[in-house]
Amino acid sequence: GQNIDQPTEMTATEGAIVQINCTYQTSGFNGLFWYQQHAGEAPTFLSYNVLDGLEEKGRFSSFLSRSKGYSYLLLKELQMKDSASYLCAPMDSNYQLIWGAGTKLIIKP
Amino acid sequence: GAVVSQHPSWVICKSGTSVKIECRSLDFQATTMFWYRQFPKQSLMLMATSNEGSKATYEQGVEKDKFLINHASLTLSTLTVTSAHPEDSSFYICSAREAGSDYNEQFFGPGTRLTVL
């Protein structure tokens, strides 16, 4: 079956760095997306990885290891507005996104 | 670019009535649109995938006669919740995939919060 595993909740301090890990199992693989979702809002795109390695985009970076079925999202210089849920969503062989429950990130001053 | 709108943002209706939600891609053509439902503190649940000009593909457990989807053009898809009941109250989100996109990225609308009394 298809499965996503992320921590349910994480807490970090403003200005710090946090890494959100994701392991996945999918039927086929066409890349992995990370989305941010604030409470009561729709998800917004953060990053996309299809090859192994690190993709950096400003304060956010995402890493992928296809052989391990593993990805992480790295957030640097945390700001209060980064408090949100972070969704790891691999794309299967049918180009459908597979969604888990996400990781709720709480930023404390 | 790549903006998706939804209308209405929220709706309250009486049990037994029907509600139509519109999803539009404003600055791109979307060959494929997706309809999701999300209950509080739960993951996004894909309800159906709709391709322009053809019938929608519904996920297992989603009643196609209750959730009517129409994707009549490359920029508009509609979801009609027929004979709504309180258990249909949820956050409905559409997303659109741009035709010919390199990444097959889905762009999300802002969502529609449906409350059925």
Q: Give residue-wise pLDDT tens across range B59-106.
A: 999 999 999 999 888 899 999 999 999 999 999 999 998 877 767 788
Segment A91-100 shows an average pLDDT of 88
Among A28-37, A74-83, B94-103, which is the least confidently predicted range? B94-103
Burial of A107 (0-12, 13-18, 19+ CB in 10 A): buried
Q: Does the structure show a pLDDT above 90 at A69?
A: yes
User: Do A42 and B110 lie within an 8 Å CB cutoff?
Assistant: yes
- Name the minimum distance, in Å, from the CA of A32 to any CA of chain B: 10
Q: Given an 8 Å threshold on Cβ–Cβ distance, is B43 in contact with A101? A: yes
Give the residue-averaged pLDDT of A9-31.
Answer: 96
d(CA B65, CA B80): 10
Rg of the Cα atoms in chain B: 13
pLDDT recorded at residue B98: 83
Beta strands at B30-38 and B45-51: parallel, antiparallel or unpaired: antiparallel
Whether cis (ω within 30° of 0) applies to the bond prior to B110 is: no
Q: Quote the mean pLDDT of chain B.
A: 91
Percentage of chain B surpassing pLDDT 90? 70
Q: Which of A15-19, A59-63, A92-96, B108-112 is predicted least confidently?
A: A92-96
Q: With 80 as the cut, is the pLDDT of residue A8 above it?
A: yes
B78 in A contact zone (CB under 8 Å):
no
- Strand A9-13 and strand A32-37: the pairing is unpaired
Band the pLDDT of B40: cuts 50, 70, 90.
Answer: confident
Return the pLDDT at B53.
80
Q: Does A9 touch chain B (CB under 8 A)?
A: no
Given a contact cutoff of 8 angstroms between Cβ atoms, the answer to whether B73 and B93 are in contact is no
- pLDDT attached to residue B31: 84
Band of pLDDT at residue B1, cut at 50, 70 and 90 = low
Residue of A nearest to B93 (CA): A42
pLDDT, residue B79, reads 96
Chain B contact set for A33 (CB, 8 A): 105-106
Distance from CA of B41 to the nearest CA of A (A): 8
